[in-house]
Amino acid sequence: MNGANFQEKRQAAEEVVSRLVKNGFSAFFAGGYVRDKLLGNAESADIDIATNAMPQSVMELFSHTIAVGVRFGVVIVVHHDIPFEVATFRSDIGIGDGRHPDRIVYTDARDDALRRDFTINGVFYDPIGDRVIDFVAGEEDLRAKVVRAIGDPVRRFKEDYLRLLRAIRFAARLGFSIDEVTWKAMVANATGIGGVSAERIFVELDRMLRQPHADRAFMLLRDSGLLHETLPEVADLVEVEQPAEFHPEGDVFSHTVKALGLLSRGDNPEPVSAVLGWSVLLHDVGKKATMQRLDRIRFNNHHQVGADLARAILKRMRVSNDLLEAVAACIENHMNFMNVMEMRLSTIKKLLSRPTINDELELHRIDCLASHGNLDNYHFIKNRLAAFTLERIRPAPLLRGADLLALGFEAGPIFGTILREVYDLQLDEKLPSRVDAIKYVKEHWGDGGEKNGDGRMRNEG
């Protein structure tokens, strides 16, 4: 929210509620903020406001508003440059399109709470009177650590099938169980998620991957049938065997789940990036298609097949090309780390210069810890990365095409071959200067054609 700290956000939200109350309306904090506040951790949640003021009245009371969802009683109030969603108490009539009701009627706080998704999200808080307003036994479920649909769970899910994924996300992040009746309704209605847009599904899955306990989220997705409906390629990894000497953790899905559990590091304050989250989830997605029983179980080229599958999956989910290609790069390169101690210096520098190197390194660390546990290659590369400056990893080329023209070479495909060879030697730190590079070209390439002796091409004159 615009960079404001939590105290500033809370103060601004209280001022919005106070202005509504002073003008004769009732108004409360609602949704995730109240849930997290009652759990003792509300500083990361957005503050939504519910009121009996009609949208037009809200827009008249505040100078900066955005009529983002007036049809459903929702107005964005921007106060002190902080946006707050202010929604009029309402009841939803009819299931509609699986996301929006057929129509709404404006009502009171109790009916508004009863139309919400889960009891833990249906509690209001009055910041003026410092009191909780609970019509759905949400406080009781928070104490019991239970995710429970409000009212009839089948109806709640048919109103918006995305709630199937939200139930799992809340249960995983909060460490809650899912109420038995709610769970049975989820399993019975899992196919309904197919009617939700790919973009909305992606957002929920992305949140699961980037929050704590992603491993539990994906176990619940599997057990509910929702994984098969949303990511069948990942569901297909169940019971795909792996060689026990390298993967004592079990099949490919078990390995993936274990890796997901390692995403949130206690010693790493940085949030999980979307690139890393999706890379960890999909890094072995190519193993089913490449599994062979030879001298042992092998998955030759699974990294390349997996990168292509990841592109197809993320394209289906309509993500940005930047995210799609970054994830594919991480997956395609994730097997390279096994050979880093034998690599030429130039190859290591090229590896370190990739834009996704930090996510690739973390994927490698997680991949190792979720299987054999050996981090020697990880520490080797981390030490190299710490020791090298950017200029040493990716220096400006000593020679360019203009230099070859000045040496008498004719422009053509040979330019690329020579320049790549010279740059590799520069990265290997065997050509320290431009003078050395020019000397090397003259000695090994003549003055414009094929390489000279020692098995190299020579100039045809």
**Cross-strand bridge partners of residue 78:** 83
What is the Cα 258 distance to its own chain's centre? 17
CB neighbours of 63 closer than 8 A, spacing ≥ 6?
none
| Rounded CA separation 87/100 (Å) | 15
Q: What is the CA radius of gyration of the chain?
A: 29
Q: Residue 244: pLDDT above 70?
A: yes
Mean pLDDT (the chain) is 91
The region of weakest confidence among 44-58, 123-137, 148-162 is 44-58
Same domain, 208 and 246: no
Q: Are residues 88 and 73 part of one domain?
A: yes
Q: Give me the CATH number covering residue 82.
A: 3.30.460.10
Report the alpha-carbon distance of residue 59 to residue 48 in Å, rounded: 16
Please name which of 394, 392, 391 lies closest in space to residue 355, comparing C-alpha atoms: 394
Dump pLDDT digits (tens) for 403-450: 999 998 988 899 999 999 999 999 999 999 999 999 999 999 875 555
| 109 and 8 assigned to the same domain | yes
- Whole-angstrom CA distances from 363 to 225, 253, 431 are 27, 16, 34
Lowest average pLDDT, out of 128-132, 223-227, 242-246, goes to 242-246
Residue 264: what pLDDT?
80
In percent, the amount of the chain with pLDDT more than 90 equals 81
Number of domains in the chain: 4
Query: Are residues 253 and 364 both part of a single domain?
Result: yes
Does residue 361 sit in the same domain as residue 417?
A: no
DSSP string covering 57-78: HHHHH-SSEEEEEGGGTEEEEE
Q: Residue 260's closest CA among 208, 328, 305?
A: 208
80/72 Cα distance (integer angstroms): 25
| pLDDT given at position 41 | 84
The neighbour count for residue 456, using CB atoms within 10 Å, is 12
In sequence order, what are the residues at sequence separation of 6 or more whose Cβ sits closer than 8 angstroms to the Cβ of residue 275? 323, 326, 327, 330, 356, 359
Cα–Cα distance, 196 to 311 (Å, whole number): 21
Which of 366, 393, 420 marks a domain boundary?
393
Q: Could you tell me the pLDDT band of residue 459, with boundaries at 50, 70 and 90?
A: very low
**In this structure, are 339 and 358 located in the same domain?**
yes
Q: Mind listing the pLDDT tens digit for each residue in 103-143?
A: 778 999 999 999 999 999 999 999 999 999 999 999 999 99
What band does 456 get if pLDDT is binned at 50, 70 and 90?
Answer: very low
Pairing state of beta strands 65-69 and 74-79? antiparallel
Tell me: do 48 and 97 sit in the same domain: yes
> Which residue segment(s) compose the domain that 328 sits in?
231-393
d(CA 56, CA 251) in angstroms, rounded, equals 58
What is the arrangement of strands in the sheet containing 74-79, beginning at the earlier edge strand? 65-69, 74-79, 82-88, 48-51, 27-30, 124-126, 131-133
Q: Which of 275-279, 338-342, 452-456 has the lowest mean pLDDT?
A: 452-456
Asked whether residue 387 falls in the same domain as residue 409, the answer is no
Of 268-277, 348-357, 365-374, 400-409, which range is least confident?
A: 268-277
Domain shared by 70 and 178, yes or no: no
pLDDT at 458 over 50: no
**pLDDT band for position 245 (cuts 50, 70, 90):** confident
Percent of the chain clearing pLDDT 70 (strictly above): 92
Q: What is the reported pLDDT for 371?
A: 93
Residues contacting residue 64 through CB under 8 Å, at least 6 positions apart? 77, 78, 79
Tokens of 394: 């990716």
Contacts of 193 (CB under 8 A, 6+ apart): 161, 162, 164, 165, 201, 226, 229, 230
Going by pLDDT thresholds of 50, 70 and 90, the confidence category of residue 3 is low
pLDDT in tens, 259-316: 999 998 655 557 899 999 999 999 999 999 999 998 898 999 999 999 999 999 999 9
Of 127, 144, 161, which marks where a domain is finished?
Answer: 144
96, pLDDT greater than 70: no
Q: Same domain, yes or no, for 430 and 308?
A: no
In the predicted model, is pLDDT for residue 50 greater than 60?
Answer: yes
The domain spanning residue 310 has which CATH number? 1.10.3210
Q: Per-residue pLDDT averaged across 37-44, rounded? A: 83
pLDDT at 246 (0 to 100): 82
CATH number for position 188? 1.10.3090.10
Q: Which residue type is seen at 217?
A: A
Mean pLDDT of 335-348: 93
Residues 335, 441: Cα–Cα separation, whole Å: 34
Residues 446 and 457 grouped into a single domain: yes
pLDDT single digits (tens) 171-185: 999 999 999 999 999
Let me know whether 5 and 140 are in one domain.
yes
Candidates 78, 103, 75; CA nearest to 88 is 75
- Predicted confidence at residue 104, as pLDDT, reads 73
Do 133 and 52 meet the contact criterion of CB atoms below 8 Å apart? no
Confidence of residue 4 (pLDDT cuts 50, 70, 90): low
Residue 328 has pLDDT above 90, yes or no: yes
Which of 169, 199, 227 is where one domain is finished? 227
